[in-house]
Amino acid sequence: MASEFLSKGENWADQFEDSTHWADQFESGKAWADQFSNEWSQDYLKGNWEEQDLFNQYNDVWDKIQEREKENQKYNFQGENKYLDDPNALQKGIELFNQGNLPEAILALEAAVQRSPENTEAWCKLGLAHAENDKDGLAIMALEKALSVDPNNLEALLALAVSHTNEFNQSKAIQSLHSWLHRNPKYKDMFKGDTTEYANLRQVEEMFIMAAKSQSTIDPLVHSALGLIYNLSFEYDKAIDCFRAALIERPDDYQLWNKLGATTANSTHGKERAHEAIDAYFRALQKKPTYTRARSNLGISYMASRNYTEAAKCFLGAIDLHNTPHLWENLKSSFAMMERPDLIEKIITHNVDLFRDEFDF
């Protein structure tokens, strides 16, 4: 039944037209709010303020917030980099990324963007490498650099939406998806306005449904984007359907399989459906065995299934590919659930080889 309606873009899209509207979520600048409550409100009550003064004070505070954010968003390159003098750093970085050697890929791609700061492809690939390495903060910085060079870089826009979704930043994820539609030659003529206009989650959802209905076949990118939207609104069953639809057209897309697994694991009955998530992660790893993020996610699903030994193997395998602090914390949790303080003691060394005699990873 599911495959029948997923094979027809218009019928599939109709399933979502009557969805319940969720309240929009907004974030406000704390510095602005604090100044208003502590200073401006008192001035107002005393009657000793003028409209222009209030406006100027607001602008001063806003400018300081913007400057601080820009300062925090500066991309800091790693120190010694053997690829800096290599004219083929970009190509080598892409090859290393495809092989799953993320630390080396990131070094090569950092060299590429330092050699050619206006190369949008190099910045985009660097962002993708960081995202696959479970470093969405760094991915966002690199992807935004790519878009500052070329605002029409559709791959960077969609990847940016994914990273903002992973960082639980709904407004920025939605704005990235909104921009992707407006800048996509395939769909931009369907929508009025421009990318600078504010759009809330439900408006962008409707736009993507229109885009899906405009095609006679499934566009996997549109369905994948809808999957992100439904993750943001916590409508996980709809998101699962979206990713499954996209996989009909892209069955070898390891990132889509990972998204399906993560969405299934996060769904209302995620623990009961852990076996489905595990299957999706296995499919992702069949396509790319060095995909660290999927291996780590697989470990988390094994934890939910109380299979702590398999979880430990997954975390150790992920660490063996790339050594990051949060993976050691996950491993520590699995050892704690196994009631193995002897193994926990070994973690302080951060040496995976100490565990090879007991775990096959």
pLDDT in tens, the chain (361 residues): 333 333 333 343 333 333 333 333 323 333 323 333 333 334 334 444 444 454 455 455 544 444 445 445 689 999 899 999 999 999 999 999 999 899 999 999 999 999 999 999 999 999 999 999 888 999 999 999 999 999 999 999 999 999 999 999 999 999 999 999 999 999 999 987 766 678 899 999 999 999 999 999 999 999 999 999 999 999 999 999 999 999 999 999 999 999 999 999 999 888 889 999 999 999 999 999 999 899 999 999 999 999 999 999 999 999 998 888 889 999 999 999 999 999 999 999 999 999 999 999 9
- Which one-letter amino acid corresponds to residue 209? I
Shared-domain flag, residues 177 and 233: yes
pLDDT at 57: 52
Count of the separate structural domains present in the chain: 3
**Domain end residue (candidates: 250, 265, 300):** 250
141, part of any domain = yes
Same domain, 280 and 344: yes
Provide the token pair at 66.
């913007």
Range of the domain at 244: 169-250
Phi, psi of 86 (to 5 degrees): -95, 115
Pair (135, 173) in one structural domain: no
What CATH number is attached to the domain comprising 102?
1.25.40.10
> Which domain-ending residue is among 97, 124, 154?
154
Burial class (CB in 10 A: 0-12, 13-18, 19+), 20: exposed
User: For the chain, where are the alpha helices, taking DSSP H only?
Assistant: 2-6, 9-14, 30-35, 41-46, 51-72, 89-99, 102-115, 120-132, 136-149, 154-166, 170-183, 201-213, 220-232, 236-249, 254-266, 274-287, 292-304, 308-321, 325-337, 341-346
Residue at 7 is within a domain: no
Residue 236 lies in a domain: yes
Please tell me the pTM assigned to this model: 0.77
Specify if 193 maps to a domain: yes
Contact 127, 162 (CB under 8 A): no
